[in-house]
Structure 1
Amino acid sequence: MDTQLKFRIKHWLENDPDPHTQHELQALLDDGNETELRQRFCGRLAFGTAGLRGVVKAGPMGMNRLVVAQTSAGLGAYLKQQVKDVESRGVIIGYDGRHDSKQFADDAAGVLTAMGIKVYLTYKVAPTPLVAFGVIHLNAAAGIMVTASHNPPQYNGYKVYWGNGAQIIPPHDSAIAAYIDKAATQRISLLPLEVASAQGTLEILGDEYYQIYRQGVKHTAVLQNHTQPQLVSLSYTAMHGVGAEMAETVLSDAGISKVYSVAAQREPDGDFPTVNFPNPEEKGGMDLVIAEAQKHGAMLACANDPDADRFAVAVRTVTGNYEMLSGDQVGVLLGHYLITHAPKNKHLTCTTIVSSTLLSKIAASLDATCLTTLTGFKWLANAGMAAQNDENQCLFAYEEALGYMVGSMVWDKDGLSALVAFAQLAAELASQGKTIWDRLEDIYRQHGFHLNTQVSIALKPTTPNIGAYLREKLPSMIADKQVLSCDDISCGLRTFRDGSTETIDLPVSDVLIFKLQGGGRAIVRPSGTEPKIKCYYEVVTTMTDQDTLKSVQARAQAEMDAFILAHQASLPQ
């Protein structure tokens, strides 16, 4: 083992406050497991726009108490440099129900209060939206949420919000990362929480704070449609996360009383014992909540992910079975519903480049505005904030990965307010003798059936760089469709079929968007480091008078399958 690696391990062991991870690292040393030690110390868990996320383990490449302390020290130093009154404005910190989350939140609070920065710490587990909400409500300089969202049990994370209540975007992410690197070379002080509390630099946010969020949802302007809520029945699962208590409460506040929670998944449990992967999008993730819905004959089967910022729903069909809606379908339904009920000064919606184009068409038909941003709620929230004005306030934002922002009380995805909005939509439709499926069909008949699919394509190690290959000679055809334009987000340029160009106002990202004749679309996100690309496809099919939802979906799926096959075949092997 070389001297530099030995020094880094020694430095780590001397600074690690956790006996458990100290022992874990010492055991690797005692066993002479140099391969594993090199992997643990080959770099540092990357801090980006989503903060940190990784497997809980000893060393700088894992999530652990020392990494959290160093991250908090770096964040605190950056805040002091950027925000003149950070000490008094403070930072709000919350945490989910994973095994290490409370300890990590306590450590972050100990580091920041030792730096003289006031901390507001939730007294128990909290849904992520409550922390994003708290940044604005408390006028805090920043927010920290300790969560790994819907990742597997061995993961944890550290999510950062800026003082505007939205997730951080460049240049804050890279600047904070540089401050963290500096903090990692220094000894870090943690103030005991009882000392911080006695000094007045730590304030515990008790139940009254949770009630403020609850009342905020109850009085949100776009959640005031109380059309016969008694007609709705739904099953609900928190997926062993932290959403159940607040979800049941805000539904009750909205008059929705027929709510059947999945008892086996209601309480926080960091082992997630009843699911292979705690994500409602994953196969089997919705099985128990659908079974609960069938047991009661409920209209909807609803889920939040473990930190309750995402929302998923399966809807009962005429045959009594339940079909999961895609993230795009939920986004389109909520967008259409909210636009048609919104005040005149609240018609700004936002979606992402990889989400369905259907929301923008709906918005245009209803004299509303729809912005398109890069993927991720950090972009959606910041873009919505920047674009709104007194005449056009932000109403709704969504991304296809089950993330929805209803209104602007929370400038991030909020699975709790989305749950209430969807239940209110279902109630209104039921009062008219209609279903969610009827509303979807009406939308598709007006704007076309939109089918969206995401595919990751693994290529051979010898395959040339896909991005460079496509940019060198832009394709004129994809499958049997003419390419009408290509958006190259890496240089902010849209190139049309005739060779003319125009600029695109989006942050730089390695993404190519091909818009096709007939309304279809192919999006390619190349990887510069491995032979792999992620592709997003959209097929738009006219719905005829003879079509049913089932028949048009089957036709669109057949077109999609052929589209994907032809596109993959056109790429270099």
Structure 2
Amino acid sequence: MTHIAFGTSGWRGILCEDFTFDNVKIVIQAIADHIAMNGEQGKGVVIGCDTRFMGGRFAQEAAQVLAGAGIKAFLCKRDVPTPVISFEILRRGAAGGINFTASHNPPEYNGVKYSPSWGGPALPETTRDIERRANEMQGGICYKELSVAEAGLRGLLEHIDPKEEYLKALESKVDFDAIAKLGKIALNPLYGTGRGYLDAPLRHRNIPFVMINDRPDPYFGGHPPEPSESHIPDFISLVQQDPEIKLGLSTDGDADRFGILDSDGSFIEPNYIIALLLDYLIRSRKIEGGVARSVATSHLIDAVARKHGVPVYETPVGFKYIGELITQDKIVIGGEESAGLTIKGHVPEKDGILACFLVAEMVAREGKTVRELLDKLYNEVGRVVTRRDNLSLSPQLEAAYSAKVNAVPAEVADTKVKEVIRIDGTKLLLEDGSWMLFRKSGTEPVVRLYGEASSNERLAKVMEAGRKFILG
């Protein structure tokens, strides 16, 4: 039997090992029971998938199990971005949404992501209830299904395409007229759900663009569908070789993460993009509110917040916590270093499509490259450089890890520890403004080491001190 456990963004597993049709049906029934417990079974559930193996079949099976439980399924006709499902939940007033995606994970993975009626990723109290119900069902048939035909006849299945309504709403959040003056743009949906979403607004306005990797491919071209520098060498080469391209925009497999290339093909870290957009939105749009970032995300954001006199909300890793603040209307923008962000008035879910277009608008209206904008921001608030490394643990180091991080030293990297934050992992704030964070993976013997400092030389020293603390 497979133990069902939800991580920061749903339940994920390897196809044919733990991610099987039987286990998926159990999880869907557990979600159905959770919805019924809340008295929301009459509102229906939006169901979608990304471009992974068997995504459409899993989505159909989910619809049949929900129909068997008397809950209507709004089944998307094609693969669909995660933020679009979030948007559709809110637009329809649905009980929630189920998306079959493993986001940026390698192609052998798939996953179930559940979003409740408020549109953001399910909070821990919700996923704990679903986990408990699913694990109690293991080993027996606990669900019934209606066929697609029968579900349709009973009014429990409706095929939908949420694309046009989402794109229409995007028009009110992005200045596409400004983007039209930018020049040629390069697009890369990484064989995922961003195709038809990244390009449609540009086609509509005859904005020049070039697009690669714009067909569905469950192998994602041989790389995990993550728009990070190491996974998009073809895209970087494209931008470098075409002097007419002003900007490169990329999304991950389910289009909730973004990747940005400057006009020279250089990759811009998501940390810096979030800080730039915070500054831009407050200056240009005069939007009021604070900013939310995860504990692992750059303090360059804090420096921008100080410049504008707005509060910073530090959250655990997981966009659900940022989504909560969006629903409470407390923040201008919320973001994570793993390339997720959303803004005030938009869905409480990370949206790579929106992020890409906001960057294009910013570059177009400011009349500067991303690097020029970043250098300008550094001159105003101070320079910050950031990095993340993965540290593999031996069985002995893994056994000693908890005791080690619970007894942190008073001094690290020749600097006193000013504060220890344990919102999520162990974060050491040093007196010179640099910091490091240790977060242990929940699925493998790996510690993620995050670090930040005011120079590359200082950052190297901070990261080496963190490495020695864990491994030495």
TM-score (structure 1 length as normaliser): 0.78
Task: Name 2:309's counterpart in structure 1.
Answer: 367
Unaligned runs of 5+ in 1: 1-40, 490-508, 541-555
1:513-524 to 2 correspondence within 5 Å?
513-524=427-438
In structure 2, the CA distance between the partners of 1:170 and 1:227, relative to structure 1 (3 Å rule), is same
Instruction: Determine helix, strand or coil for the equivalent of 1:88.
Output: coil
Is residue 245 of structure 1 aligned with residue 196 of structure 2? yes
Alignment partner of 1:404 is 2:341:
yes
Amino acid at match of 1:287: D
Aligned mate of 1:212, from 162, 165, 176? 165
Against the structure 1 CA distance between its residues 67 and 365, is the aligned structure 2 distance closer, same or farther, given a 3 Å change threshold?
same
Separation in structure 2 between the aligned mates of residue 153 and residue 416 of structure 1, nearest angstrom: 21
CA deviation vs aligned residue, 1:55-107 (integer Å, no higher than 9, x gap)? 1105xxx112111111111110111112x1x2221111111111210000000
Partner Cα distance (2:237, 2:343) in 1: 25
Check 1:170–1:557 CA distance in 2 against 1; reply closer, same or farther (3 A cut).
same
Determine which of 325, 329, 347 is the counterpart of 2:268.
325
- Structure-2 change in CA distance of 1:228 and 1:167 (3 Å): closer
**1:447 alignment partner in structure 2:** 381
**2:28 aligns to what?**
72
Instruction: Determine the structure 2 residue equivalent to 1:200.
Output: 155
How far 1:296 sits from its partner (Å)? 5.5
Deviation (angstroms), 1:381: 0.6
Q: 8 Å contact 1:57–1:63 — kept in the other structure?
A: yes
Structure 2 counterpart of 1:377, which letter? F
**Matched AA of 1:47:** F
Closer, same or farther in 2 for the Cα pair 1:250/1:394, shift >3 Å?
farther
Verify: 1:51 aligned to 2:10, yes or no. Answer: yes
Write the letter of the residue equivalent to 2:181: Q
Contact 1:135 1:142 in 2 (8 A): yes
Kindly indicate whether the alpha-carbon contact (under 8 Å) linking 2:436 and 2:463 is maintained by their aligned counterparts in 1.
no
1:263-313, Cα deviation, whole Å (9 max, x unpaired): xx101111223x433222152424235415623530112211121111101
Distance 1:527 1:126, change over 3 A: closer
Pick which of 143-152 and 227-236 moved more.
Answer: 227-236
CA positional deviation for 1:322: 1.7
State whether residues 148 and 155 of structure 1, in contact with CA within 8 Å, keep that contact through their aligned partners in structure 2.
yes
Deviation at 1:397, TM superposition (A): 1.1
Report what 1:124 is aligned to. 78
Structure-1 separation of matches of 2:363 and 2:206? 11
Mapped contact 2:183–2:244 kept (Cα < 8 A): no
- The aligned residue for residue 566 of structure 1 is 465
1:390-443 deviation digits (Å, cap 9, x = unpaired): xxx53211101111113332211111111111111111122xxx3222211111
Residues 296 and 258 of structure 1: CA distance in aligned 2, closer, same or farther (over 3 Å): farther
Asked if structure 1 preserves the Cα contact closer than 8 Å seen for 2:239 and 2:265, the reply is: no
Match of 1:468 among 403, 406, 410: 403
CA distance in 1, matches of 2:294, 2:141: 40
Asked whether the 8 Å contact 2:236–2:265 carries over to 1, the reply is no
Trace 1:414-453 onto structure 2 (pairs within 5 A): 414-430=351-367, 434-453=368-387
Assess if the C-alpha contact under 8 Å between 1:91 and 1:141 holds in 2.
Answer: yes
The verdict on how the C-alpha distance between 1:356 and 1:168 changes in structure 2, with shifts beyond 3 A counting, is: same
Change (3 A) 1:380 1:203: same
C-alpha distance in 2 between matches for 1:295 and 1:228: 19
Tell me how far 1:558 sits from its aligned partner.
Answer: 2.2
Aligned pairs, how many? 470
Partner of 1:100: 54
Question: Match of 2:453, as an amino acid?
Answer: V
Q: How does 1:477-496 map to 2 (within 5 A)?
A: 477-489=411-423
Q: Structure 1 residue 272 and structure 2 residue 207: aligned?
A: no
Q: Is the 8 A contact 1:289 1:303 kept in 2?
A: no
Q: Which amino acid aligns with 2:413?
A: A
Could you say which residue in structure 2 is the equivalent of 1:236?
187
Which of 167, 175, 182 is the equivalent residue of 2:121? 167
8 Å Cα contact 2:449-2:466 kept in structure 1: no
Cα deviation code 1:1-26 (max 9, x no counterpart): xxxxxxxxxxxxxxxxxxxxxxxxxx
Which of these residues, 146, 166, 188, is aligned with residue 191 of structure 1? 146
User: In the alignment, which of 423, 434, 456 is matched to residue 557 of structure 1?
Assistant: 456
Write out per-residue CA displacement over residues 202-225 of structure 1, whole angstroms, 9 at most, x where no aligned residue: 12113xx321111000122xx247
In structure 2, the CA distance between the partners of 1:284 and 1:160, relative to structure 1 (3 Å rule), is closer
Amino acid at match of 1:385: T
Call closer, same or farther: CA 1:470–1:238 in 2, change over 3 Å.
closer
Offset from partner CA, 1:523-568 (integer Å, 9 cap, x none): 122469976432211102xxxxxxxxxxxxxxx2222222222333
Q: Which amino acid aligns with 1:200?
A: G
SS at 2:199 equivalent? helix
Q: Residues 479 and 406 from structure 1, CA distance in 2 versus in 1: closer, same or farther, beyond 3 angstroms? A: same
Asked if structure 2 preserves the Cα contact closer than 8 Å seen for 1:96 and 1:146, the reply is yes
Q: Return the offset for 1:188.
A: 2.2
SS of aligned partner of 2:80? coil
Question: What does residue range 282-361 of structure 1 map to in structure 2 within 5 Å?
Answer: 283-288=230-235, 290-291=237-238, 294-295=241-242, 297-316=244-263, 321-344=264-287, 346-361=288-303
Alignment-derived partner of residue 383 in structure 1: 325
User: Would the aligned equivalents of 1:230 and 1:258 in 2 still touch at CA under 8 Å?
Assistant: no
How many Å separate the matches in 2 of 1:396 and 1:476? Answer: 34
The answer to whether the 8 A contact 1:461-1:530 is kept is no
* Rounded Cα–Cα distance in structure 2 between residues aligned with 1:163 and 1:150: 24
Which secondary structure state, in structure 1, belongs to the residue aligned with residue 220 of structure 2? coil
Is 1:339–1:368's contact at 8 Å kept on the other side of the alignment? no
- What residue is the counterpart of 2:207 in the other structure? 257
Aligned AA (1:192):
S
For each residue in 1:192-242, what CA deviation from the matched residue of structure 2 results, as whole angstroms up to 9, or x when unmatched? 112111111112113xx321111000122xx24743632232111111112
Determine if contact 2:65/2:145 at 8 Å carries over to the other structure.
yes
Out of 422, 443, 450, the residue aligned to residue 536 of structure 1 is 450
Given that 1:484 and 1:514 are in contact with CA atoms closer than 8 Å, whether structure 2 keeps it comes out as yes
| 1:149 paired residue among 103, 122, 126 | 103
Tell me: CA distance 1:228–1:277, structure 2 relative to 1, closer, same or farther (3 Å): closer
* Whole-Å separation in 2 of the counterparts to 1:126 and 1:211: 12
The runs of 5 or more residues in structure 2 that have no matched partner are: none
